[in-house]
Structure 1
Amino acid sequence: MRKIYSSLLMLALSSFSLETMAQGNLISQTLENPDNEPAPVFPVPSARQLAWQETEFYAFFHYGMNTYTGKEWGYGNESLSTFRPPKHPNCEQWVQAAKDAGMKGGIAVVKHHDGFCLWPTKTTEHNANNCGLSFEVNVPKAYAEASEKLGMKYGFYISPWDRNSAHYGKDTYVKEVFLKQASELAEYGHDQFEMWFDGANGGDGYYGGANEVRNIDASTYYDVPNLADSIHKMQPNCVMWGVGDEARWIGNEAGWAGVTNWSPEYKPARGPNENGNENGWRWFPGESDAKGTNMGWFWHAGESPRSLNELFKFYLETVGRNATLILNFPPDQSGELPKATVTRMKELGQLLKERLGTDLALDAKIEASETRKAGAKRTYVATNLNDNDKDTYWATDDDVIESTITLSWDAPKTVHYVALMEYIKKGQRIKSFTIETSQDGTNWTPRATDQCTTVGYKRIIPLNGSTTEYGNGYSVKAIRITINDSKACPLLHTVSVF
């Protein structure tokens, strides 16, 4: 009898415990996937990587001691009296020019390999405020303030390699100089989007008068985990480029990414990487850096901006190929962008509006051959593709990879480009697609057949197959996009036609 009472008591206590836990929200019951959302295809971007990719197109401003010496890589022994701007560098002019160019932000170089710092750092005497100028120089402060005023994203380039510092290559450099400099820069502004690290393996330099060669192993020397942790605590949306291993170098410095370009990768950031890797284990999206002028990264006498057509080509072959584009326009010795540069940047912004500013898909009838079954609060219909909402998307059922999307208009439209955007919050999927146009909605002509491979964050296809010739476009009443192959059911959140 005692055993029976004991069992009943244990059952009662068990029931009481479960009920109490449920009331305390320690146990909850939810329906599995009520919205019928597709499973992610890993890897997927972090929130900061996604926001970084959405920046798409931004400026690079190389300015510093090299602007006054005519060098690209200063040795580190330059006299401080060489740096002689007539007034504080006009950062607001830089940012306004970038905005006029159709960019969403920019990166200001505040320390290059020569170790010269453009802010009142506590880490070295080799900075702009020891040059005997009649005014204080603080480029990161002025640049962040100008960017916030004009509604632009901002970040800073800080070279890990320091050819001036006596500490470089020793145990003291990273802790006493580099990490402190990065932390100082993270204090400027409220929402930096990128910190740019470059030239990280060392070489010959002044090094406090040693005048020798010092090489290091960049994969371990810079204490990247501690660096990333400290910066992310101060600037949670700041992607660590290069040494930081959150975004990769496309690698050619010529303004193009691979026709096939995956955001997944498994290699480190160092070294050219124009294509990514379909089977990469981490999200490692590509950034292409290019010069917007015809000489170096820093300003040189006699330079001029590249042609408008060449700059637009850079845009199509980077932003249009699942990469971001950081385009360099260097300020001159006055601390301002030259007049010709400002004019060219404004022309570029106008051209982007003319060619990619009016989305004809917004007025199209849009249909899909396959549509995923709706969930409780989410649909996956084709009209999600032209609703101007990046958080809705079209999808197929899990076992369906091939599908066709058709856009049509009652009256003919003259078209040049088709742009596709995957819902990359759930990974990059599409491996191959085709685009066809029709003048009558019945007969179809394939377009740009050698370019329709991966999509990723954004893919812009010139229908004539050329990134250099705009052409006359095609008069169409319908466009058909066929997904031929995908790692899993394809997901697109936007289709645009220009």
Structure 2
Amino acid sequence: MQSKTNLRLFRSTILTSCLWLFLLLSYSSVKAQNKNYVVINPSDSPSEIVRKAANVVPSKRQFAWQRQELTAFLHFGMNTFTGKEWGEGTDSPAIFNPSSLDADQWIRELKAAGFKCAILTCKHHDGFCLWPSAYTDYSVKHSPWKEGRGDVVREVSDACRKYGMSFGIYLSPWDRNSKLYGTEEYNDYFMKQLTELLTQYGKVSEVWFDGACGEGPNGKKQVYDFLRWYSLIRKLQPDAVIAVMGPDVRWVGTETGRGREMEWSVVPKENLNQEAIAENSQKEMLTVPAGDMMGQDLGSRKVIAKAKSLIWYPAEIDVSIRPGWFYHEDQDSKVKTPKELMDIYFTSVGMNGVLLLNVPPNKAGKFADVDVKNLRGFRQLYDATFTKNLLANANVSCKLLKGKASDVIDGDYDTSVRPNMSQGKAVFLFKLKNTISFDVLSVQEDIRSGQRVEHFFLEVKDANGKWQKVTQGTTIGHKRLLRFPMCKAKEMRLVIDQVREIPTISEIGLYRLAE
């Protein structure tokens, strides 16, 4: 469905400048320790630029975020009851009345499916607050739900703590209900609401902003003071990543659940079009084609050669389990199947990203049965595929500068190796006593040492003793998953033949995809 008003989403060049100024100020004080940001000098040679790129690494908060792999979005609010995707901010709070809201069920099912974090839409574009904000009457405190004494944010944050999951918040910058929207006072109002969310609900691990900026009830648009918002988050929740319209995590550029074939986390700060992000994030329906918003190459040698500075800015890949972001009963037959969710895992987490999967509760305040069934089915497929590394009993050999060869198949990300690449390549040779069947390759770099691999391939020894290439890839980063036709072999080798600097390899695995 299309919005009834002209929803041209806004992002000024001044805001873009402010974002990168904040990045520079944030990282300059610590870059000596973690090298999260580096300046490229005009006199730097191509090889020096590549060396600098190889030594940019994530901050502690970015590394913790990347290791989660699976994050859930919970779109819930007035739209759940009106059937809309974008509300106008004029619907009565009396409409919000879930009959049996069960945040415990949401988080329990997400935890069982392997998710590590849940982000709640605390306020969407309609301005309705899922917590009893002291600064507006347009909230749950004026709804019939629990006679106005309910707090959805509290129930979700408590459930996250109960199940050991991280808790994140989404607070829409756009507010179609507030009369302050479009004035300088709105930024103060937003700061007050953000402060409530960051101080009253325990630890927050992710703060998620989109670029929505339409007109408010007064017909005006808002100039957002993102820089103040970022500073407040750093002060009140210093471990939280600020995502999408923020300095820590970028939007991959599509809402299809698919990343790039070559996904670099180290990118030039100036090649990211923040205005395009603002104009295309949080579309009403998932119609944005893959790669439409940003190019397919953000960080190759060709791209970074023109950079003025480089920064660690990883990709979050969002998609909804349904066609829409909010629950609609007529979409119960269109929920993504376990196989489709598994495919998305390969094209998001398996492409050096973090998957943000939206699972919207229904009018009763629960996950629909079909959503639960398919989440459970996804986890069954995941466990059946990845529980056992088929190389676990292999004899591993590789010329190394650091570590033991067996460290790459021990299942422990923190035990890693640095291969000797004096001949321009590293060869990990695996020998097993018995033949195994496999069709999935998993490779991980310890990104705390940087993202360095530019090309690799897998070969198997055939019955005639000749090496045959099975698959190949470009970037690895935190995790790269490759699928290929079923192979049978007992001797195979992973060859890394192009790098920016000697990489740190944490895990290598072969698996058989569950059917």
For the criterion TM > 0.5, the same-fold answer is yes
* Residue-by-residue CA offset, 1:431-476 (whole Å, 9 max, x unaligned): 1111112355932221234xx0100111011133xxxxxxxx3222
Write the distance in 2 (CA, Å) between the matches of 1:192 and 1:361.
38
Deviation at 1:397, TM superposition (A): 4.7
Given candidates 346, 350, 355, the residue that maps to 1:320 is: 350
Separation in 1 of the partners of 2:239 and 2:71?
16
In structure 2, do the counterparts of structure 1 residues 135 and 437 end up closer, same or farther at CA, with 3 Å as the change threshold? Answer: farther
Shift of 1:408: 1.9
Structure 1 letter corresponding to 2:331: E
User: Does residue 214 of structure 2 align to residue 203 of structure 1?
Assistant: yes
Q: CA 1:426–1:96 in 2, change beyond 3 Å: closer, same or farther?
A: same
**Residue 480 of structure 2 corresponds to which residue in structure 1?**
459
Report the counterpart of residue 252 of structure 1 in structure 2. 254
CA distance in 2, matches of 1:154, 1:401: 44
Whole-Å separation in 2 of the counterparts to 1:443 and 1:362: 24
2:205 aligned with 1:193, yes or no?
A: yes
Distance 1:335 1:348, change over 3 A: same
Gapped regions of structure 2 (runs ≥ 5): 1-50, 278-292
Q: Distance in 1 between matches of 2:258 and 2:423?
A: 33
Paired position in structure 2 for 1:231: 233
* Distance change >3 Å, CA 367–CA 191, structure 1 → 2: farther
Residue in structure 1 matched with residue 45 of structure 2 by the alignment:
none
Q: Deviation string for 1:271-312 (max 9, x for gaps)?
A: 23465324360110001100112x310011221211222111
The answer to whether the 8 A contact 1:245-1:268 is kept is: no
Distance 2:194 2:446 in 1: 33
Worse overlay, 162-171 or 283-292: 162-171
- Cα deviation, residue 150, structure 1: 1.0
1:102 aligns with 2:110: no
How far the C-alpha of 1:388 sits from its partner, in A, is 2.7
- TM-score w.r.t. structure 1 length? 0.82
Between 358-367 and 455-464, the greater mean CA deviation after superposition: 358-367
- In 2, Cα distance between equivalents of 1:181 and 1:64: 17
Which of 326, 330, 353 is matched with 1:298 structurally?
326
1:230 offset after TM fit, Å?
2.3
Q: CA RMSD in A?
A: 2.1
Contact 2:211–2:245, Cα closer than 8 Å, also in 1: no
Alpha-carbon displacement from aligned partner over 1:320-365 (angstroms, at most 9, x marks no partner): 0000101111111001111111111111111110112211222221
Aligned mates of 2:138, 2:371 — CA distance in 1? 30
Alignment of 1:113-192 (within 5 A): 113-133=125-145, 134-175=147-188, 177-192=189-204
Compute the displacement of 1:197 (Å): 0.7
Q: How many residues align?
A: 431
- The structure with more radius of gyration: 1
| CA displacement, residues 139-191 of structure 1 (integer Å, 9 cap, x when unaligned) | 2211111111112222111111111111122111112x212222211225443
Q: Which region of structure 1 is more displaced relative to structure 2, 229-238 or 42-51?
A: 229-238
Q: Could you tell me whether the CA contact under 8 Å between 2:462 and 2:468 is conserved in 1? A: no
What's the counterpart of residue 85 of structure 1? 98
**Once the two structures are superposed, what CA deviation does each residue of 1:81-135 show, in whole Å capped at 9, x if it has no partner?**
1212124x21111111112222222211111111111001112111111123325
CA contact (8 A) 1:106 1:153 kept: yes
Asked if 1 retains the 8 angstrom alpha-carbon contact of 2:96 and 2:144, the reply is no
1:375 matched to which residue of 2? none
Distance verdict in 2 for CA 1:79–1:400, change over 3 Å: farther
Confirm or deny: 8 A CA contact 2:265 2:315 kept in the other structure: yes
Q: 2:324 aligned with 1:276, yes or no?
A: no
**3-state SS of 1:240 partner:** strand
Q: 2: CA distance between counterparts of 1:297 and 1:393?
A: 39
Where does structure 1 lack aligned partners over 5 or more consecutive residues? 1-37, 373-378, 465-472
Measured in 2, the distance between the counterparts of 1:189 and 1:493 equals 35
Q: 1:438 to 1:181 in 2, by over 3 A?
A: farther
What secondary structure is seen at the aligned counterpart in 1 of 2:71?
Answer: strand
- In the alignment, does 2:416 pair up with 1:388? no
Q: Is the 8 A contact 1:113 1:199 kept in 2?
A: no
Identity of aligned residues (%): 31
Matched-pair contact (CA < 8 Å) for 2:321–2:336: yes
The residue type paired with residue 71 of structure 1 is K
Q: Is the 8 A contact 2:181 2:220 kept in 1?
A: no
In 2, Cα distance between equivalents of 1:156 and 1:401: 46
2:400 partner SS: coil
2:397 is matched with which residue? 367
Instruction: Measure the CA separation in 2 of the matches of 1:139 and 1:48.
Output: 26
